[in-house]
Amino acid sequence: MAQKAFEFPEELYYDKNHHMWVRKDNSATIVVGIDAIGLDNLGDLAYITLRPEGTVVKKGETVGTLEAAKMTGDVFAPVSGRIIAVNNACVENPGLVNSDAYGKGWLLTMEAVNWEEESSQLVHGDDLEPWIAAEIQRLENQGFDA
Amino acid sequence: MSAAIRLLRLGTVPGWMSQAVYHALAETMHSDRPDTIVVCTPNNPYLCLGYFQHSGDVFDKTALQKAGIPVYKRRIGGGATYLDKDQLFYQFIFNNRHVPVSPEKSYRHFLQVPLETLQHFGLESRLRAVNELEVNGRRIAGIGGGRIGEASVVVGNFLFDFDYETMSRVWRAPCPGYREIAREALRQRVYTLKDCAPQLQPDEVEAELIRRFSAHFNQPVVEGTLTPEESQAIVRWRHKLTDLSETECETSIHRPRPLKIAAGVFVHHGACVLPGRKERYVSVLEQDGRIARIMAQDGLPRRLKEMENHPVPQAWAALEALLVQSGIQVESKTWPQN
């Protein structure tokens, strides 16, 4: 079966457990969204809710809930921190997440409180390519057509 | 993967428990717990909202009080459903690691069993639009799913009979004509085993369903019982299910949505403002990619009826254009933005 091509911008960090992406600039603020494989698995999003600004979460805790194909699932915090802003455009139109995952489809900005330590558990740089390949293989074994 | 799938044949249980059980099993799922299939029937009628639905948007509060039917809100997806003793439930609660990640594949993985059960009885059944079970082209089950903690859940039912009248009565009708259209569509598109195979008894359908589990999942299926921890969790979920408040995330946004009757069948409504600020409503049945029926209040253009049988999305644009040409403003609508 032909493999799908997934876009994974190199400058981003990826949560390998939950297929979330993280954009980090020089400040403590990070931007968070769902990566290409995560979205391919989910299909078209029908609903999304996100926890409000100011909510403090630990890495791996839920920051929202979504529904695709009448199936609900959680949105997970890729790192610990405080939610600074929620992308209400996506809450109002979840299709935006599918159509522009790394751009207008961002979900949250957060103030990361333990970036130095927790970012080492995210996939980035040279680790990216082998992780994507392994992930496609793993999901293929679960009935995933890549 | 664990050695055997646990089967819980609960028989007839209180309505709340028929929902609470799969939530509790999902919540208590961890790596040393077995994948579990629950088969049961509720002993009283109730209504059940999908996780993202709001009771006030979906149900008529007065009609609910009059009917005296409890409403529960589940933690998984799908739309509002009416459930009662004439339905046989199947509920799959499997560890996430044993289930395809994609909702589409997950549904296919589980729904193959009820599908083949229906086919075994000579019924022309198929899976349509990801997760809808049909017989003779009509919906014959309500399906929903979700991931709760470490578990993936898919639930569905066999409709032996269906109380169309009660379901139609409790829907919130945002405008005149809406309920009539919805009732008619429900009768046309939701099917029951009483209609297509009246000789079938719940016991034999349940036996056939269960007979197929082991071969389908390629694992032994062993009847088991609830653990004390699971039983306690079921009681906790009884209370959680009756909490109809918003989803726990405060950023959820209410917007008018169409009423889904079956795959490809939706009842829409539009609120229009006439010159002079008079409010008028139009109800529209969308069926299999076409506008099947329009009911418009007096004051709206009669020519709206000309849109019937026209394909969407073009018909939506034409409908709105006609309203605008008549000096009418569409204040809110459930059909998609053009």
Mean pLDDT of B65-74: 94
Q: Record the tokens describing residue B191, joined without a space.
A: 């099917």
Contacts of B98 (CB under 8 A, 6+ apart): B1, B35, B152
Would you say residue A87 lies in a domain?
A: yes
B254 touches chain A (CB under 8 A): no
pLDDT band at B245 (very low <50, low <70, confident <90, very high): low
* Predicted local distance difference test score (pLDDT) of residue B66: 94
Would you say residue A6 lies in a domain?
A: no
Please report the DSSP string for B196-231 in residue order: H-TT--HHHHHHHHHHHHHHHHTS-EEE----HHHH
Q: Report all structural domains of chain B as residue ranges with CATH numbers, in order of start.
A: 5-241 (3.30.930.10), 264-333 (no CATH)
* Predicted local distance difference test score (pLDDT) of residue A145: 44
Would you say residue A2 lies in a domain?
A: no
CA-nearest residue to A65 within chain B is B249
* Predicted local distance difference test score (pLDDT) of residue A69: 86
The answer to which of A32-36, A132-136, B253-257, B305-309 has the lowest mean pLDDT is: B253-257
Cα atoms in the 13 Å half-sphere on the side-chain side of B222: 11
Are B238 and B38 a contacting pair, CB within 8 Å? no
The boundaries of the domain holding residue A23 are 18-138
Are B141 and B113 a contacting pair, CB within 8 Å? no
pLDDT band at B275 (very low <50, low <70, confident <90, very high): confident
Name the residue among A52, A70, A72 with its Cβ closest to that of B251. Answer: A52
What is the maximum span of chain A, computed from C-alpha positions, in angstroms?
45
CA-nearest residue to A92 within chain B is B253
Q: What angle (nearest 5°) sits at the alpha carbon of residue B55, between those of residues B157 and A34?
A: 75
* Predicted local distance difference test score (pLDDT) of residue A70: 86
B127 touches chain A (CB under 8 A): no
* Predicted local distance difference test score (pLDDT) of residue A140: 77
Q: What is the pLDDT of residues B119-129, one digit of tens each?
A: 999 999 999 98
Across the interface, do A51 and B251 touch by the CB < 8 Å criterion? Answer: yes
Chain B interface, best mutation among A51, A53, A70, A83, by max B CB count within 10 A: A70
Burial class (CB in 10 A: 0-12, 13-18, 19+), B186: buried
* Predicted local distance difference test score (pLDDT) of residue A112: 96
pLDDT band at A146 (very low <50, low <70, confident <90, very high): very low
Domain count of the fold of chain A: 1
Which domain CATH number covers A114? 2.40.50.100
Q: What is the pLDDT of residues A84-101, one digit of tens each?
A: 999 999 999 999 999 999
Would you say residue A3 lies in a domain?
A: no
| DSSP 8-state class, residue B234 | H
* Predicted local distance difference test score (pLDDT) of residue B249: 52
pLDDT band at B189 (very low <50, low <70, confident <90, very high): very high
Q: Which residue has the higher pLDDT, B1 or A66?
A: A66
pLDDT higher than threshold 50 for residue B217: yes
Are A119 and A79 a contacting pair, CB within 8 Å? yes
User: Which residue is listed with tokens 């927790």?
Assistant: A118
